[in-house]
Amino acid sequence: MGCPLVYEGEPVHRADVVLEWHELVDAGLSRLDVRCRSIPCQRSAASVRVIGRVAPETVARVATRAEREQTQRNVETLARKGSGQRVRSRHMPVRAVWLEGGMMMSRREASLRAG
């Protein structure tokens, strides 16, 4: 499972998992001002750059939060469908993502990559 890291300065998302400094150091990360956003990456493995690996205990904590986030998203999706609200089509463009070097990147990913 791979999940994105976000800087501490970004707004907190309900899926964020705070990583202890020793978990970040053990993972081989040089930045300690990041959180793990426990939304599994849905990219192909070839397009993702691994920047560190955390202990199995940390993975279990992130996986639990990711499962909880997916359950909540499922509930919200069902509620939207039942309320008659318009749901964004997969074919509509997402403006916060652009192509850079053959890889789709969000602004957050681009800033993490630059850091």
In the predicted model, what is the mean pLDDT of the chain? 77
Q: How far is CA 3 from CA 42, 54, 83, 98, in A?
A: 9, 11, 31, 19
**Among the listed residues 35, 53, 46, the one whose alpha carbon sits nearest the alpha carbon of residue 103:** 46
Locate 16 and state its tokens: 């964020």
Tell me what pLDDT residue 82 has: 73
The DSSP result for the chain, as a single string, is ----EEETTSPP-TTEEEPPHHHHHHTT-S--SEEEE-S---S-GGG--------HHHHHHHHHHHHHHHHHHHHHHHHHHHHTPPPPPTTS--TTEEEETTEEEEHHHHHHHH-
**55 has a pLDDT exceeding 70:** yes
Per-residue pLDDT tens for 65-81? 989 988 998 888 888 88
Span 23-32, average pLDDT: 87
Span 7-24, average pLDDT: 90
